[in-house]
Amino acid sequence: MNKNKIKVVITVDTDSDFYFGNKAGQYNTNDKSIIGWKGLDKGMPVLTDAIKEISDKHNINIPISWFVRCDRQIGDKYQNRAYLLEKYNDWWQERISLGDEVQWHAHLYDFKNNSWVQETDKANLYKDLELSSREFINSGYQYNCLRIGESYCSNDVLDICEDLDIKYGSSSMPGRYRKDAEKTIDWLNTPNKPYSPSISDYRIEKERNRNFLEFPLNTVKTKVSYDKDYLPRYVNLAFNKGVLREGLEEFFRENDTLVSITHPFEVVKDFFVDSNQKSHPLLSFKRQSVIDNLEDILILARRLNREIEFLKVSDIISTYTNE
């Protein structure tokens, strides 16, 4: 591997709408119900246009790996787990023709007490993943990497992945921990680089590891106005200018693979426009943030005499496995 080269993967998750302004108060944050897809309709063209601007300016290729939801919740609402693959089929086909790819994104939820909540039962998880994988492929698309929504994982989930011959994932968020009614995240001791999870503990790598390779959503140290201390956050092109800069430079000194993640609604002003705040401390809801953060990635690499190569998830898998 060329240690002077930093491999950067731009990934986009096709999650349903989520409001951050005053309108957010109209929704129960513990309920993960789908309220719409305006963020995809408006945000995907904004993201691709901004990325193309940087690509054209620097004469570099910047492909996108689109993680498209296909799961039980989608199936229950639209009677078709592959609804998003089919609804936006023309978009996916156009993006693939331009060099992008489609991967699998699944939110593993159960419907209890009139709300969608995190599923944890192994038998139900197995059924969801098995049926969703089948419908994803039957829709005419192939995937080789699974990303589970809200960074959920467990030993049970990886048991199921191995049984279903799912060998690659990108769900972990190194250094983050949160367990409450809304989220179940535990990645405190997870390496901030590709690793094979231990059979006994999905979060770490040990002497006995699974036939599974995890590509984390790499985290860098950040601090915004409402943070008491530095906090590891994933690298999101929709963050405000400068939020990632210090942490990215530190990360680039020690690592050669960076997987970022952005959600289309995060670059659409509609999702914060009703706020009493002039701006959100972390998210920009602007196209310009994508340009600013990509420029910072290129500038920071040059400062460290390192070269940036933008790749797809499938390219990274090939790099690490020779497949």
Distance CA 138, CA 272 (A): 37
Q: Read out DSSP for 139-175?
A: TT---S-EEEGGG---HHHHHHHHHTT--EE----TT
For 146, phi then psi, to 5°, come to -110, 130
Contact between 174 and 202 (Cβ < 8 Å): no
Q: Output DSSP code: residue 3.
A: T
pLDDT of 193-212, one tens digit each? 999 999 999 999 988 899 99
Query: Residue 179 pLDDT more than 80?
Result: no
Reported as a single tens digit per residue, the pLDDT across 41-100 is 999 999 999 999 999 999 999 999 999 999 999 999 999 999 999 999 999 999 999 999
The pLDDT assigned to 32 comes to: 87
Q: What is the pLDDT of residues 285-317, one digit of tens each?
A: 999 999 999 999 999 999 999 999 999 999 999
Average pLDDT, integer, range 88-113: 97
Kindly report, residue by residue over 120-178, the tens digit of the pLDDT.
999 999 999 999 999 999 999 999 999 999 999 999 999 999 999 999 999 999 999 88
Report pLDDT for 239.
98
Are the beta carbons of 183 and 150 closer than 8 angstroms? yes
Q: How confident is the model at residue 1 (pLDDT cuts 50, 70, 90)?
A: very low
Quote the pTM value.
Answer: 0.95
pLDDT at 208: 82
pLDDT of residue 29 exceeding 90, the answer is no
Domains within the chain, CATH numbers bracketed: 5-321 (3.20.20.510)
Whole-angstrom CA distances from 165 to 85, 131, 146, 168, 200 are: 22, 14, 11, 9, 19
Q: What is the pLDDT of residues 239-255, one digit of tens each?
A: 999 999 999 999 999 99
